[in-house]
Chain A
Amino acid sequence: MALAGAACLSGPAGAAAAAPAMLAPIASVQPKLVKIYGAGGFRGLEAYQSGMLISAEGHVLTAFSYVLDSDAITVVLSDGRRFSARLLGADPRIEVALLTIDAQSLPHFDLTAAAEVPAGTRILALSNLFGVAAGNEPLSVQQGIVSVQTQLAGYRGVFETPYQGPVYVLDAVTNNPGAAGGAVVTRDGRLVGMLGKQLRNALSGTWLNYAIPIGELRYSVDEILAGRLVVPDSRDDASPADPLSPDALGVVFVPEVLERTPPFVDLVRPGSAAARAGLAPDDLVVLLDDRLIQSVRSLRTELARIERIDPVRLTVLRRGELLELTLFADPTREPRP
């Protein structure tokens, strides 16, 4: 309310007032956005994307992509000035990159002032989707709301991206060719996130419209600016030295006759981890820890990600009831009753 009051008292007059105040932030945001041109140009691989200025000295935040895989990266400012850009650094784990151009006193976003917003917040997405804008033309503006905030980590095998952190899912069709690196701002112009690369849901075949919250990028940006960024091996992808398997648990599932054979227990070996935990023939495994298991195949894949000595929690469907069982392939780790 205080803000609204202030706006009243210092109410703009003349030409500025001709446009509704709620759209005024677009004019202040546009000069902070840039068009980026680089490698690509083949079918399905556009040679452009979007970016945002994050310092007065020409640092440009954008998505790390094949477009930057070029010796000649060009950045075009909102006033049409063109600059050769240099790739300062990138963090491939979160697919973010920083470019620099030789310019001063540029309007820019302050990453430390970025906003975190709840679902249902109205947003504007600014990007050069489909390369519509050229030269000094402003980027395209789309409107929508934050649909939900979710963690990409929960979608293993669904979204092929190294970025596993939180995203803002948007209800507008924002993530198109050329949009990556674009800005998502609140209707009053506060920076919320950066549009990510196109991401297709491998299971349903639908496209995801999303932005990465600025807070998730800030650390990598600081590291790149400080020249410290070292990309360590991702520990998430390390496969276990001695992985689990149905055999190690002493359980045999029904034969895989279909692509999506449901994981019904066919038999349980006496004395095995499965038998000790009370698994029984005809049980249908539906969850491994909290992960939905849709087929024998996906169960095998998930088990292979677990160290053999670690316990595994299975939820099974038995005569319409859900039961939770914990299996210890290594009997020495099993708690004594």
Chain B
Amino acid sequence: MICPSRVGSLALAAALTAVAAPAAPADALADDLERLEEAAFQAAAERVAPSVVRIESVGGRALPGAISPGTGPTTGLVVDPRGYILSNAWSFQHRPESILVQLPDGRRLAAERVATDYNRMLVLLKVDADEPLPVPAWAPGETLRVGQWALAAGRTFDAERLNLAVGIVSATGRIWGRAIQTDAAVSPNNYGGPLVDIRGRVMGILVPLSPESDDQTAGTEWYDSGIGFAIPADDLADIVPRLMAGSDLHQGRAGVSFRQGDLYTGAARIAACHPNGPAYRAGLRAGDVIAEVNGRPVRRAAEVREAISRLYAGDEIRLAALRDEERIEVPLALLAEIEAFDHPLLGLLPMRESPAAEEGGVVVRSLLPESPAAAAGLLPGDRLLALDGEPVVDRAALADVLSTRYRPDQVVRLDVVRDGQTLAIEVTLGRLGQVVLPESTAPARLRDDELPLEGPPTGLVEMRVPELPNDAWAFVPHTYDPAAQYGVLVWLHGAGGPDREALLDRFGDRCARDDIILVVPTAQDDRWRTAETELIERLLDRVTTRYSVDSARVVLSGEQQGAALALASLARLRGRVAGVALFDGMVPVPPPQNNPLYRVAFHIVVSRAFPAAAPLETFAERLQEQNHPVLLRHRDEDVLSDADAEALVRWIDVLDLL
């Protein structure tokens, strides 16, 4: 790009404007820079183009979702001259009957799926070409700089030409260390294609990813948003040979959980150690503080999560942990799936009023029939003072200790006060996943006839969140007593919006009887959208700050399409929702994993005429396999009856069982 005449004119201009600001030459340089950049984009695209192929698929399952995979063409990148092509797993999750790879010269070849990497959403394909296929140049990881040019290339519109998007590298080490982030437009138009630098060297492969979810469709909602991800080329060097071996790769799990809020603060203290997980079997326990992963010191839970989520099931790691002053170092092999957790259970319902402070403990409200607690001889009215010598603070703390420190079939000692006497009773813990909920129980609290004169509003209460467009109201029992604790029932309506009169008629008296606040938002556009999970969170925030809420009895209930929002909100509100009720719901998502820290019960109602009854019943089975407590009901009519409301409210009333 050396041009003597221009250099000459620059010199001349500079000489003429020696005193004034040299604006004109700077402008010319800027103009020239533009052209040079444009030429560089095109040259970079040309360099990588021979390795970028177009991929089409035939057949496969139809999948629900706003953006559906597999229907349009997708992109792949040659990673080995013998015909290995890497693409994104999202575009193949419909399991196509056949896959066709179209080379840049237009030839189509049948491709086989070799293996899938579910941790990084990659898929490796193989074609038999007559000649070696061209492999691209790779950009070494250490050359990556945030702010440098990044070109996202796809081959989806035309077989003969790339489609390009230009942006910069926005960040490295994203999605728990797995991805490069770019602001170039990334979408189904270029998933599976390369992210290249200005020299046309491949920095990574574009895939949909989300930091919040490992779900297979996560991240597609961010298409063309300025947030796109690519799996770094350096990591591909390790991954591709593993995929060539033909076995699928899954994210490795150690089976340790940290508290959601503790990820970036404080030490990496294990909040729960999954009893069926590798860490527990290697001897780690809740309360241990992880100090090293594979010899590298870690200070925060987030660092542990990042170090482990980069790895695959089958990988062996060494964890060093501190227990009090003692240092424990254990080797363990990560697992893809950990056998479902089952919450240990005493089998009793607690009273909800806290006993006078000097007494402490939890009073037994009633016993589940044939439960471990009943078998051990506990009686209603017993006051639980200590569990294996540790004082019982309140019912929430007792539930937490049971789930995080104990396993089913373990024998525990309860110190119990009965008629002024202290007894020690041994109980063999049962399983929450196998519990049969009782039909009726004793009152959960003694009612005070004298209600305070002042308090938050009761009856029909406006609940609109000021910044959001949705209508929302709540029904708070007129007998509201700030000294008691109230369950929350969020009702997410189905087709036609919420019928206020019908809801009040079904739930009004029952909510008053069982201390429940009913919250009813309205979808903005008749149909619920996933983004409205924010509304649910904000509504819960509002109710919780204004009223006395029992977190063990917060329930999201969704009718038809509202069911999908209830499930989506559950993912967002882990630890704040104790139960989910689904009335004739479409359930596109896989059931949530059972987790020692977050106990969730399910109430599923299927109408005789509901067309998607089978998938919903399968969903209930999957939940049971995960050891979630599930109540499955069938009904004749698809309208909310008195029986439906009664069953739901009774179920909410026993959600705080221990």
Contacts and interface: CB of A to CB of B under 8 A. Distances in A.
Interface of A: 1, 3-5, 7-9, 11-13, 17-18, 20-22, 118-122, 144-151, 154, 158, 169, 171-173, 187-188, 201, 203-207, 209, 258-264, 284, 286-287, 292-295, 315, 317, 320-322
A171 B164 contact: yes
B574 interface: no
Nearest to B23: A17
B607 interface: no
B100 A17 contact: no
A21 B94 CA distance: 51
B38 A120 contact: yes
A207 B166 contact: no
Contacts of A11: 13, 23-25, 27-28
Interface of B: 3, 5-6, 9-10, 13, 20-21, 23-28, 30-35, 37-38, 41-42, 45, 56-62, 65-69, 71-73, 94, 97-98, 100, 108-110, 112, 128, 152, 157-158, 161-166, 184-185, 187-189, 223-224
A316 B153 CA distance: 29
B58 A171 contact: no
B62 A260 contact: yes
Nearest to A319: B110
A121 B5 contact: no
A187 B34 contact: yes
Nearest to A44: B525
26 contacts: A5-B6, A8-B6, A8-B13, A9-B9, A11-B24, A20-B26, A21-B31, A22-B34, A119-B45, A120-B164, A120-B166, A147-B163, A147-B164, A148-B162, A154-B158, A158-B72, A201-B72, A204-B72, A205-B67, A205-B68, A206-B223, A262-B59, A263-B58, A284-B98, A294-B57, A294-B71
B10 A148 contact: no
Given A1-B3, A4-B28, A119 B164 contact: yes
Given A5-B3, A173-B224, A294-B71, A204 B59 contact: no
A120 B98 contact: no
Contacts of A146: 164
B72 A148 contact: no
Given A17-B27, A172-B185, A119 B34 contact: no
A42 to B, nearest CB: 13
A203 to B, nearest CB: 4
Given A7-B28, A8-B10, A187-B34, A206 B110 contact: no
Contact of A171 (B31, B68, B109, B184): B184
A320 B112 contact: yes
B58 A262 contact: yes
A12 B24 contact: yes
A8 B22 CA distance: 11
Contact of A322 (B59, B65, B108): B108
B42 A119 contact: yes
A21 B164 contact: no
A261 B56 contact: no
A145 to B, nearest CB: 5
A21 B157 CA distance: 34
Nearest to A320: B110
Contacts of A22: 27, 30-31, 33-34
A118 B58 CA distance: 32
Given A4-B35, A13-B24, A321-B110, 7 more contacts: A9-B13, A18-B23, A21-B27, A146-B164, A147-B185, A171-B165, A286-B56
B197 to A, nearest CB: 15
Task: Output the residue of A122, A171, A294 with the most chain B CB within 10 A.
Answer: A171
Contacts of A205: 65-68
A151 B64 CA distance: 28
B162 A21 contact: no
A284 B37 CA distance: 46
B187 A206 contact: yes
B166 to A, nearest CB: 5
Task: Output the residue of A12, A148, A263 with the most chain B CB within 10 A.
Answer: A148
A295 B112 CA distance: 19
Nearest to A286: B58
Nearest to B159: A290
B512 to A, nearest CB: 39
Contacts of B21: 17
A119 B187 contact: no
A135 B24 CA distance: 33
A42 B41 CA distance: 42
B6 A149 contact: no
B68 A4 contact: no
Contacts of A173: 185, 224
Task: Output the residue of A20, A158, A204, A294 with the most chain B CB within 10 A.
Answer: A204
B163 A204 contact: no
Contacts of B34: 22, 122, 187
Given A11-B23, A148-B157, A206-B189, A262 B98 contact: yes
A172 B225 CA distance: 9
Contacts of A1: 3, 5-6
Given A8-B10, A150-B157, A150-B158, A204 B164 contact: no
A7 B158 CA distance: 38
A8 B9 contact: yes
A118 B31 contact: no
Nearest to B112: A320
Task: Output the residue of A144, A145, A151 with the most chain B CB within 10 A.
Answer: A145
Given A120-B164, A322-B108, A169 B157 contact: yes
A27 to B, nearest CB: 14
A122 B37 contact: yes
A5 B164 contact: no
Nearest to A21: B27
A234 B21 CA distance: 61
A204 B67 contact: yes
A209 B187 CA distance: 12
Nearest to B42: A120
Nearest to B45: A120
A195 B65 CA distance: 28
Contact of A12 (B27, B33, B65): B27
Contacts of B57: 294
A39 B472 CA distance: 33
A215 B276 CA distance: 67
Contact of A13 (B23, B56, B128): B23
Contacts of A21: 27-28, 30-31
Task: Output the residue of B13, B112, B224 with the most chain A CB within 10 A.
Answer: B224
Contacts of A172: 185
B58 A147 contact: no
Pairs A-B, 9 closest by C-beta atoms? A11-B24, A262-B59, A21-B27, A171-B165, A17-B23, A148-B163, A203-B71, A262-B97, A120-B42
A171 B167 CA distance: 9
A265 to B, nearest CB: 13
A294 B107 CA distance: 18
Contacts of A18: 23
A245 to B, nearest CB: 20
Contacts of A149: 161
B58 A293 contact: yes
A204 B56 CA distance: 13
Contact of A122 (B38, B98, B108, B185): B38
Contact of B42 (A118, A151, A187): A118
Contacts of B65: 205
Contacts of B97: 262, 264, 284
